Amino acid sequence: MSSTTTSTAGMATSLTPSSGRLFSHGIDAHYGDFRDDLLKNGYAVVKGAVARERALQYASDIYQWLEEFDLGFDRNDPTTIHKDHLPDINEKGMCLGYAISHESFTWAVRQEPEVVRAFEKVYDTEDLIVSFDSVNIGFPNRKDIKPNSPWPHQDQDPAKPGFRCLQGLVNLLPNGPKDGGLIVCKGAHLLSEEFHEVFKEEERIWSWTTEWYGFTEAGQAWLKERGCEWVKVEAEPGDLLLWDSRTPHYNLSSETSQSRLCIYTCFMPVSDASREQLETKKMAFEETKMTTHWPNAMHVVDLPVYRNGEIDPHNRSKPRFPVQLSERGFKLTGIPYLEQMA
């Protein structure tokens, strides 16, 4: 079905499409909410998707989780922000172990109704699955790990164009212009196909997956010539940040004394996943393994965790407590849909 257009007092006005996922009605469809920003800019902020007090509580829960490693980290003592006192967190703020993907705070955020609701609106279905992705723990002024250099990229295979994936994160602490975090190339999602036609012979930056494309300096210059600007997205505790996987992006480290904590949340229709992928996802859930942002468990992250150059004895395969899910939360694992297929 295409978007409906009517004429009011001689003016053409596009109406909210009645069905279909985002982009299925072109980029001139009008929804009157964050979806308009996604269409036009390739990113959006859903304000207050999580109540501020709850977002701050989730941040506190993450601090407690860090303190419970008993490595000496104390949220009230900035001198303890050091790799000797923390689990392994890389220079981009990614924590890729310790079953953090299945911790209480991670699952609680994934089950926040307005977070899920935003993705329901984008895909026009309640039958969604969610990624078992990571948490970003960005402390300011870290001198104990290497600097965070920009890595502008798309999380989508150039050979598979079109809107395929909406990425998201729930921001848990105040996040102003210099507090680090997501930076996006505004509007460049719409230039993606043209870009890759121009750069198809270019030598690509290496990646472990074809679903990642890194922009070279020439590529970045092309985007600049086309008038695209890089925008640091600002957010309050509880805001949901969304971006089209085609939108070039990376993250910045804080230049202030403000830390950044956020939980990645990415949902897609269960109908986009194959049976085999749902089986992989079931295994990942039952074994509390991490995935990347792809909710169809395209990639399961199961790497050894090194800390200070050695296998970290503090790594663990299970979260502190068994995963607590609502009925809806369980559907987000994909398992009930797999059982229906049996």
Binding site for Fe ion (CB under 5 A): 155
Q: What type of residue is 155? A: D
Residue 235 DSSP class: B
Q: Which residue is nearest to Fe ion (CB)?
A: 155
Q: Which is nearer to Fe ion, 155 or 179 (CB)?
A: 155
- Rank residues 249 and 331 by Cβ distance to Fe ion and give the closer one: 249
Percent helix, strand and coil across the chain, each to the nearest 5: 30, 20, 50
Our CB check for Fe ion shows the closer of 184 and 332 to be 184
Q: How far is the CB of 82 from Fe ion (least distance, A)?
A: 27
Find the shortest distance in angstroms from Cβ 155 to Fe ion: 4
The amino acid at 85: H
Taking the complex as a whole, the smallest distance from the CB of residue 293 to Fe ion amounts, in Å, to 7
* Biggest CA-to-CA distance, the chain: 71
Residue 244: alpha-carbon gap to chain centroid? 10
Residue (15 or 183) nearer to Fe ion, CB: 183
Give dist(CA 160, CA 270) in Å, integer: 19
CB atoms within 10 A of CB 11: 7
Minimum CB–partner distance for residue 231 and Fe ion (Å): 15
Least distance from C-beta 189 to Fe ion, angstroms?
13
Strand partners of residue 249:
153, 184
Closer to Fe ion by CB, 155 or 244: give it.
Answer: 155
For residue 94, the minimal CB distance to Fe ion (Å) is: 10
DSSP 134: -
CB of 156 to Fe ion, least distance (A): 9
CA 300 vs. chain centroid, Å, equals 16
112/155 with CB nearer Fe ion: 155
User: 10 Å Cβ neighbour count for 342?
Assistant: 5
At 117, which helix (H) or strand (E)? Answer: helix 113-123
- φ/ψ of 272, rounded to 5, equals -85, -10
- CB-wise, 151 or 306, nearer to Fe ion? 151
Token couple for 218: 């020439």
**For residue 235, which amino acid is it?**
A
Give the number of other Cβ atoms within 10 Å of residue 230's Cβ: 18
